[in-house]
């Protein structure tokens, strides 16, 4: 999508501080961190949200959830004490960028309920 900020980050048209990248996914530090460690994991393919996922995206989402997020959490030293993964969807869900993304938050105790 030509005007999507996350697509531009994935295509390296906008600089970011990458913490992970492969052919399908990019992960970068959030510009407004809500925890000592706060990164966003995005598919390089434009998908608007969880609600827009299709059957053909199963391998991509499994890769993000089973491979990428655990690897980043381990590399950042978050696995022992824990971390939070958030995927906001739609306006009421707090999604501000219409490109599927997963927040990884860690390095402090997370409270419940959130927001």
Distances (CA, A) of 98 to 62, 77, 82, 87, 113: 20, 30, 27, 11, 24
101 tagged catalytic: yes
CA torsion 87→90→95→97, rounded to 10°? Answer: 110
Which of these is catalytic: 38, 99, 101, 103?
Answer: 101
Active site (catalytic) residues: 101
């Amino acid at each position: 999508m030509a005007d999507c900020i996350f697509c531009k980050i994935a295509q390296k048209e906008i600089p970011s501080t990458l913490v992970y990248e492969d052919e399908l996914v990019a992960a970068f530090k959030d510009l407004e961190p809500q925890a000592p460690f706060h990164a966003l994991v995005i598919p390089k393919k434009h998908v608007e949200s969880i609600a827009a996922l299709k059957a053909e995206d199963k391998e991509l989402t499994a890769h993000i959830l089973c491979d990428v997020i655990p690897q980043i959490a381990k590399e950042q030293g978050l696995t022992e004490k824990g971390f939070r993964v958030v995927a906001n969807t739609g306006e009421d869900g707090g999604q501000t960028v219409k490109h599927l993304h997963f927040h990884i938050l860690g390095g402090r105790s997370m409270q419940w309920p959130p927001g």
